[in-house]
Structure 1
Amino acid sequence: MEKIISFLLSRVTLVTLALLAQIITLALMIYRFSNYFLIFDIIFMVISVMVVLYILNRKSDPTYKIAWIIPIMLFPVFGGLFYLMFGGTGLSSKMKDKMHTIIDKMKECLYQHPVTLANLRKEDTIAFNQAKYIEQYSSCPVYDNSATKFLPSGEEFFKCLTEELKKAEKYIFIEFFIIEKGIMWNTILKILKEKAKHGLDVRVVYDDFGCVTRLPHNYNKILEGYGIKCSVFNPYIPILSFRLNNRNHRKIAVIDGKTAYTGGINLADEYINAVEKFGHWRDNCVEIKGDAVWSLTVMFLSMWGYLRKNDENYQKFRPETYDQSGECHGYVQP
């Protein structure tokens, strides 16, 4: 009985009911005004035409324009109205300006060393063209002087991550789509709490939708109580909007700017097969050491700046020297 009551009063249930209420209300409104279909048909057709003209004149990605124009033309009665309800980014002009500022700052910090590109071009023209394309469109440079290690399972990632977390001396940055209480997260959290207690800068970012059924509401405040700085990406609210689909699927861990992890593994027990939700789980991750860690550090800090609306000096998180104990060969472009 307690489980049923807990489920009925959970945030997921309440938000779902609120969204269903909005959908039902919209459907009833359409049914209620069905007697005036011809009038509304003309109005909505005009709206759709105006919306298409607006989209065509917007300064945005052509693929974005096509993705909206085609369904609006196919379903002109409701297409324009649908765009007005869900087509916007949901960001204010002030927030857009803030994002542009963060992106510009990110570009300033991620400098592409020309010698590295020149060497890559000599070794592999195809790889050079790909790296150059990625650098131009994402501002993420290609690095040498970096070591990588492929981790073929969640179990191996978990082992390596905890070992590196214990070695942290200055800061730890954690950014994941899913975090769930259990063996994996509880073990990591214990280390984070200990490091925060000793004065390290420990920060955590998680996606609210990814954790909505896995973490209690206001879990960020619980972490803050441990001395761990925490921000939640796009809090899940009961408003019918495509903004709910704007999620952060990043999986990044950075330790002292010298070691980083990224891949497909979240911080939940099914990823290390401590529990089986969907059968045996197989995913992988990459450990990066050396210069290339800087890109992941800047990625995290840019997201942190966006969520916290603050401006800090990224360079203070850049190590003066990197650990060269790993075997550095080839090129890395995170």
Structure 2
Amino acid sequence: MEQPLEQPQVTVVGSSNVDITALMDRLPAPGETVLADSYQLTPGGKGANQALAAALAGARTEFIGAVGQDPNAQIALEQLDAAGVQLGRVARVPENTGVAIIQVDAGAENCIAVVPGANASVDAAAVKAAGELHGILVLQGEIPASGIGAAIDAAAERVVLNLAPVIELERRYLLAANPLVANEHEAALILAQLDGADQPVDEPEEAIAAKLLAHGIASVVITLGANGCLVAEGGTVQQLPAVKVKAVDTTGAGDAFTGALAARLAAGDTLVQAAGFAGKFAALTVQGHGAQASYPRSVDNL
């Protein structure tokens, strides 16, 4: 008789894509065609990326999402499966598996277009049908807002909310984040949403983090790329420096950070400790091409 799986320490409810990545010297201007050097077809999607990162960072991890019944479904899930992520509650739906079309230039800058596909089916009804959610809950903005809300309602422990891309959420769901994880641009947009403003205000990241706390969010982590990250909680804002590396592709680095952060929180680290580890984990990923393919398979030296 098959033994039941141990309850996960981290549950990620989110998106799973196949990434089509074109590598080129420079990104095209609007209306311009640029020849690419090569392309890669690899697994991605913010939810799947974060689930893989959490597993590689040492947490028992479950991924809940949806893929299609097309050949891309196997590609989308293969690295999660290899890493031991629990996939029993990934739905197979009629829509095609989500796809991300990524362009990366020689300076590691990228631009990304996402076709949600099956991810659009991860709504409130699908999340409720999945049943109980165990461990720390990780969410992103690549599934419908109703699915995010239903997952937060069902959360058993703290919620790590990486609202990327920034979508409209009810205020109570934004305030459930502990922490809210966002880059500097996303943080400004989220603050504008909480303020009821039409446009984000151009303010220093420290001020944005403090204002997010003032709205009632328990903790905030703002990632700053090569400048590290800000950790805000308990009325204080602290900047953690970045690990200095030569980046070749930043695709999926933010997801690597969020997944590793959740794994260390599940292990009992403080938020500052978890963010420090996550920064080192993410720094390793930008030294290779692709999202999941670049994630470190060993964290013994971090």
**Bucket of the pairwise TM-score, normalised by the shorter protein:** under 0.3
Provide TM-score, normalisation by structure 2: 0.25
Q: Which has the higher contact order (CA 8 A, sep 6+)?
A: 1
Richer in strand (by share) = 2
- Taking structure 1 as the reference length, the TM-score comes to 0.23
Q: Which structure shows the higher helix fraction? A: 1
